[in-house]
Structure 1
Amino acid sequence: MARIAVGGMQHETNTFAPSRADYAAFEDGGGWPGVQVGDTLFDAVAGANIPVQGAIESLRAAGHALVPLAWAAASPSAHVTVDAFERIVGALTDRLRAALPVDGVYLDLHGAMVTEHHDDGEGEILRRVREIVGPDVPVVASLDLHANVTRGMVAHSDALSIYRTYPHVDMAATGARAAGLLMRMLGTGRRFAKAHRTLDYLTGIPSQSTFIEPANGLYALLERIEQRNGVALSFAPGFPMADFPECGMSVVGYGLDEAATRAAVDEMAGAVADAEKDFALTLLAPDEAVERAMARGEPGAPVVLADTQDNPGAGGNGDTTALLAALIRHRARDAVLGMLIDPPSARRAHEAGQGATLDFALGEISGVPGHVPLAGRFTVERIGDGRFTCTGPMFKGFRMQLGPMALLRSEAAPGVRVVLASSKCQAGDQEMFRHLGVEPIRQRIVALKSSVHFRADFQPIAREVLVVRSPGPALADPADFRWTRLRPGIRMRPLGPAFRPA
């Protein structure tokens, strides 16, 4: 039986987003459990599809003793503040020092965290952990599919395991896979050979979904290469919203044979390079998307509209209203948009009460240039406290606490309703609508503040999914960002222009 330290910190940083992640953002969690230090970690994540829970279950099943450190997560946003990073990582490393000696360390990390003082947040966490435990204690981490895997992350860890699905239905499974790599090293006393390759183009997150090609085929190939070479292989399409030199796609592998490990990583990286042209994706303007959805959607087979550029899961604040305005302008029928993150309007709906009709100025709180709140008269159809448990494939077991929520119906277009929430979270689970009495499959149009995670629970009921280019900071085409710090020569979209420093 080994003694294994367990902890982590999850944040996906869009350096172009309007608001930063302070300590309060991690206390809130954005749908994930808040900051946990010590024994509270185990109860907080129990039953949830979270990497650390998958690792905990796997390690416990093998009879190992677990030492809880600290763990935290926050909604994607701009940079993590110095205060938040140092408080959380400080708690993690303080407990690790106090727990020594340990036989191994498992960390639940994201891989795309940029802080106010570190481009590579995860690399810095792994560096500090390695400094404490020394070179002989194996350190492994699980990472998000959107990880920008850096040289520092690879150097300071013994193995990294990355999600293989987007939507991320395999989060807990990836934690278990990382734990398995740790246990292999503990059992054999041997470390893995490493190989790491980066790609020379960026791709937008809507086209990274494993529900569609080329990602679906690439991950199937990854598993075949793994089996053929006996190598633990991971492919990260990256998070193309972090303006620093190591942003981008990568492949990393681990095996006992150095040549086989290198060959497996090279083969996978070659396949990703060959798929560049296939990562292009059609994006629709709001009016075009609504018109198409009105023609094709019906109860039982709604058209789903992905309001991808205002996705709270990619650094948006979930408060832009251009798509809602298009639904109202075209007088769509049986249409619902969710979730619009607007705490003042949700609070006002609660104060007015169910059945009240009054004027609202919805959204646009974060100040996207050129946009003002959507003014109109709405009826408060339903209110809720924002407390419910998700049931979909990705968010299953997540205990949501989204603050006051409300369902409003437009008086100008009575077929259009909007779900308001008070805490930032992307719309990725049908329970977010059912909490307010809306059954998504009975709608003609379901508009979602999400890029891809919604597909796990909504694509099975959808006649069609349309990706909408509506205002927001999570740009679907990476070439639209004003990059300043990418590595020279990387293409800013598939087959697109290469970055050149000013």
Structure 2
Amino acid sequence: MSDFPIIAIAGLACETSTFSPARTSAAAFHPRRGEEIIEKYKFLQSGTPLGDAANWQGALIGHALPGGTVTRSAFEKLAAEILSRLADIRLASEKGIKGLWFDIHGAMCVEGMDDAEADLLRRIRGVVGSETIVSASMDLHGNVSRDLAHQIDIITCYRMAPHEDATESKERACRHLVDLLKSGPEPPKRPLKAWVKVPILLPGEQTSTRMEPAKSLYRLVPEVESCPGVLDAAIWVGYAWADEVRNHAVVMVTGWKANEVTEKAKSLAEYFWKVREDFHFVAPTGSLDECIAQALVSPDRPFFISDSGDNPTAGGSGDVTWGLARILNSPDFQETENRVIIYASIPGPKAIDIIVAAGVGAIVTVTAGAEVDNIHCGPLTLTGKVHAIKFGDNDAVVGSVLQIGSVFVILTKLRKPYHRETDFTDLNLKPRAADIVVVKIGYLEPELFDMAANWMLALTPGGVDQDICRLGHSRISRPMWPFDTQFLQEPTFSPQLIPMSNMPF
């Protein structure tokens, strides 16, 4: 593959809430290097169309579980290694690095920085050079600043929420990159990019593509992409639980015809704005008490409840005990013969040590939770029977279940999202047979959605509170829907055209 263009792979991804007291370390990114990156992405492996189209060289990628702000030391450590590895790849090649796949999420917040992804790419550009073609794949809950859009040559994002098309979107970004590198002159001509800010900032639970109006909005994307002269179209709803200037919705259309990309970007932005009042939560909502009351009277089983304010896959710390405390204090669940309720989950490293030492079947008293986020409720002391223990979990490390009355509480060494049926069955739990399953999540991931006979979204407190207007944003640009419902002047959507040129970055 020595005659094939070298395409490097680098990026850091972490969806981070600035309203959570948690901090994200370098280890949390679980960095992959070199061939480990190719092993992760099957569409880049030898024998695939993309794998055989270029000489893919992994530098470093890191994908952390969503959480609190990334420490500056963690970012600098990982960024330095990315730059070092890219420098090695460039030195080993006579023709240099022709392309870069920037594998990011887009909502990473770093201590002392306002636009971490743009800063990282600027540093990368300093190593690989301004002529390297960069293609980025992002989460639709990421943020695209004007600065980031300028530095990237072609950019795309997921078109589904939940993100069932994540792999497809990453593959699309790589295919765009290969196509550009093969398109003609050396260096390749850069496409035009039309960037439009949309003054809307909504949580993902109001913008799921399972329902309207997001379903119709995102249905327009492939229609625009199919137009002559258009390479890619993308809509970002933005990330609602961080307080930075770049947190807002964005539309981008990339292609070769200035009139086409600007007109299409404008039409998508205008439609997004037109339907802004139609965005609603993906499920019925209520306080936790209201959700439990509804679940108790409903004949539907299992009845799922999202404890949404501390959702670890949106950036919550995962150790807020507020919801569990209310459940354990409820007389409806204090007797073992009452309706079975499963709660997922609370981290408690010290509690796990006691549980492991005691073993399955033992009665133990442990304290867990609120080691990171104790704003809403303190640690809980729990006495119950050890129902199950599992070792070797990728996220939790050690998971366990403590039965307290009719409540089966999942306790973990490290925080873990519970998205799959096996997450429960591996702990000797039967979620399909339970009356109520409470999960720290927002909209239900596909397996949970398919399993739930009914469900509600509990508007609970935490670092990813669904009531975003009460979080206290102070740095986002205003006016911004829904923080502001009255605009003195209707927004005008005039796409900023970022021209094709080999301009310095």
> Aligned residue for 2:411?
420
- The 5 Å alignment of 1:39-438 reads 39-43=35-39, 45=40, 54=43, 60-100=50-90, 101-189=96-184, 190-228=189-227, 231=230, 232-281=232-281, 283-298=285-300, 301-328=301-328, 329=330, 330-331=332-333, 333-387=339-393, 400-410=394-404, 413-414=405-406, 416-438=407-429
Amino acid of the residue matched to residue 115 of structure 1? V
| TM-score normalized by the length of structure 1 | 0.88
| TM-score normalized by the length of structure 2 | 0.87
**Cα pair 2:20 2:373 within 8 Å, conserved:** no
> Aligned residue for 2:493?
none
User: Against the structure 1 CA distance between its residues 309 and 494, is the aligned structure 2 distance closer, same or farther, given a 3 Å change threshold?
Assistant: farther
Q: How far has the Cα of 1:85 moved from its partner?
A: 1.0
SS of equivalent residue, structure 1 residue 154: helix
- The farther-off stretch of 81-90 and 57-66 is 57-66
Choose the corresponding residue for 2:26, options 1, 23, 27.
23
Percent pairwise identity: 27
Amino acid of the residue matched to residue 283 of structure 1? T
Structure 2, unmatched stretches of 5+, are 91-95, 489-505
User: Against the structure 1 CA distance between its residues 425 and 338, is the aligned structure 2 distance closer, same or farther, given a 3 Å change threshold?
Assistant: same
**Cα pair 1:164 1:219 within 8 Å, conserved:** yes
Q: How far has the Cα of 1:344 moved from its partner?
A: 2.0
**Cα pair 1:12 1:113 within 8 Å, conserved:** yes
**Cα pair 1:386 1:421 within 8 Å, conserved:** no
**In structure 1, distance between residues paired with 2:226 and 2:105:** 26
User: Against the structure 1 CA distance between its residues 424 and 375, is the aligned structure 2 distance closer, same or farther, given a 3 Å change threshold?
Assistant: closer
**In structure 2, distance between residues paired with 1:63 and 1:349:** 52
CA RMSD of aligned residues (A): 2.1
SS of equivalent residue, structure 1 residue 244: coil
SS of equivalent residue, structure 2 residue 61: strand
Q: How far has the Cα of 1:284 moved from its partner?
A: 1.0
**Cα pair 2:254 2:261 within 8 Å, conserved:** yes
Between the two proteins, the alignment pairs up a number of residues equal to 466
SS of equivalent residue, structure 2 residue 67: coil
**In structure 2, distance between residues paired with 1:437 and 1:182:** 46
Q: How far has the Cα of 1:364 moved from its partner?
A: 2.4
C-alpha offsets along residues 397-450 of structure 1, whole Å, 9 cap, x if unaligned? xxx24211101111xx32x21112222232222221121012322222111111
Q: Which has the larger radius of gyration?
A: 2
Q: How far has the Cα of 1:60 moved from its partner?
A: 4.2
**In structure 2, distance between residues paired with 1:497 and 1:343:** 49
Q: How far has the Cα of 1:237 moved from its partner?
A: 0.8
**Cα pair 1:55 1:178 within 8 Å, conserved:** no
**Cα pair 1:289 1:468 within 8 Å, conserved:** yes
C-alpha offsets along residues 282-322 of structure 1, whole Å, 9 cap, x if unaligned? 53111100111122254xx4111111110111221212233
**Cα pair 1:297 1:445 within 8 Å, conserved:** no
SS of equivalent residue, structure 1 residue 188: coil
1:448 lines up with 2:442 in the alignment: no
SS of equivalent residue, structure 1 residue 115: coil
C-alpha offsets along residues 356-380 of structure 1, whole Å, 9 cap, x if unaligned? 1122334222243251233342111
SS of equivalent residue, structure 1 residue 312: coil
Amino acid of the residue matched to residue 441 of structure 1? R
Choose the corresponding residue for 2:8, options 2, 5, 27.
5
Amino acid of the residue matched to residue 317 of structure 1? S
SS of equivalent residue, structure 2 residue 70: coil
Amino acid of the residue matched to residue 146 of structure 1? H
C-alpha offsets along residues 232-283 of structure 1, whole Å, 9 cap, x if unaligned? 1011111011111111111111111111111111111111111211223353
Amino acid of the residue matched to residue 35 of structure 1? P
SS of equivalent residue, structure 1 residue 366: coil
**In structure 2, distance between residues paired with 1:169 and 1:54:** 16
C-alpha offsets along residues 446-495 of structure 1, whole Å, 9 cap, x if unaligned? 1111113x331111121222111122111112211112211132234483
Amino acid of the residue matched to residue 399 of structure 2? M
Amino acid of the residue matched to residue 236 of structure 2? A
**In structure 1, distance between residues paired with 2:97 and 2:24:** 31
